[in-house]
Amino acid sequence: MENLTTQKPTRNIALELVRVTEGAAMAAARHFGRGSKIEADKAAVDAMRFLLNEIDLDGTIIIGEGEKDKAPMLYNGEKVGTGELPVLDMAVDPVEGTELVAKGMPNAIATIAAAPPGTMFNPGPMFYMSKIAVGYEARDVIDIYAPVKDNLNKIAHAKGMDIDELTVVILDRPRHKRLIHEVRDCGARIRLIPDGDVAGALMTAWPGTGIDVLMGVGGTPEAVLAACGLGAMRGTMQGILWPRNVEDRRLAKAAGIDLTRVLTLDDLVSSNDTFFVATGISDGTLLDGVNYSGDFVRTHSLVTRGLTHTVREIVSHHHLDTLQKISPIAY
């Protein structure tokens, strides 16, 4: 019988980070449907910062959302954790979908990703990216430079489907008018979403969502976050940085950025030793939202580890009275 070499499992930081996204989600959910995205974001940021600083890690925020959204933020370069090992770079979005929370809409999540230092893509001044993301079956057939019809035909073939059975998730933006027309001309269905393309990308790789591909222009920080989750889920993504205007092109040229380069999953995060966690704030296709029942709060999370391709689905029940006695966070 062949001798098998066993290795002691290393520490799975994702199982500790889920406490952080749960806390952020519960804090944001208190502002669900109340009309203020700033208040929801601030509550989630405060909760995420407090809980991150309780974890034994030496973390640096390299991708925070506040700068683009002009919202309260965990800022780029901020140190988090107790300063103990491991050393990690971190990408955070305490509320992906602040408008969704403010307006009482579905698919808002709290999310965080971590990877070894220097392995996450630095978008510099480029906040937007044209993307295509798919799950495992179609990971080897997509080409972001190919026509929409070619991509959809190849994805359908790879998944053993007809093209009119595919569902494409696209952000509902004026810039996508032509894309939407092309997808519909092919006969595929479209799920338009007002916000939340991290969740949209992950839907393509998670069973039961009914989503086959994400297409269109979304946030570059969101692409890095999604890449950490997609890698663990064995999906993939391609992207091309997307300048909004002449000023963006000028900034890209000054920074030496090639706006024609195709960024693969390995470009967005070059290590497989990644951790990604998302907790639902509002009910959605990917995750259930925060649910209040008497003295308890229910949360629903995805917890992934790239090294093992393990994806955990965690449902937690939190006792509010107990939490309020021991925590300064307003759950």
Q: With contact defined as beta carbons under 8 Å apart, do 280 and 300 qualify?
A: yes
Cβ neighbours around 325 below 10 Å, total? 8
Q: Give whole-number Cα distances, 173 to 180, 217, 290, 293, in Å.
A: 10, 9, 27, 36
Tell me: is residue 174 an annotated ligand-binding position. yes
According to the annotation, is 94 in a ligand binding site? no
217, HSE (Cβ side, Cα atoms, 13 Å): 15
Give burial (CB, 10 Å; 0-12/13-18/19+) of 118.
exposed
By DSSP bridging, strand 213-219 and strand 167-171 are parallel
HSE at residue 277, side-chain half, CA atoms within 13 A, is 27
- Is 219 among the annotated ligand-binding positions? yes
Is 195 annotated to bind ligand? yes
- Which of 162, 327, 318, 302 is CA-nearest to residue 232? 302
Tell me: is residue 93 an annotated ligand-binding position.
yes
Q: Evaluate whether 257 touches 239 at the Cβ level (below 8 Å).
A: no
Q: Is 84 annotated as a binding residue?
A: no
CB under 8 Å to 271, separation ≥6 — which residues?
A: 115, 116, 119, 306
Check whether 65 is labelled as a binding-site residue: yes
Distance CA 44, CA 48 (A): 6
CA 198 to chain centre: 3
Is 256 part of any known ligand binding site?
no
Q: Is 197 annotated as a binding residue?
A: yes
Does residue 16 have a known ligand-binding role? no
Q: Does the annotation list 312 as a binding residue?
A: no
Strands 167-171 and 189-193: parallel
- Between CA 275 and CA 302 the distance in angstroms is 11
Q: Is 212 assigned a ligand-binding role in the annotation? A: no
Q: Is 23 annotated as a binding residue?
A: no
Q: Which residues are annotated as a binding site for substrate?
A: 96-98, 128, 173-175, 195-197, 219
Q: Which residues are annotated as a binding site?
A: 41, 65, 93, 96-98, 128, 173-175, 195-197, 219, 222
Q: Which residues are annotated as a binding site for Mn(2+)?
A: 41, 65, 93, 96, 222
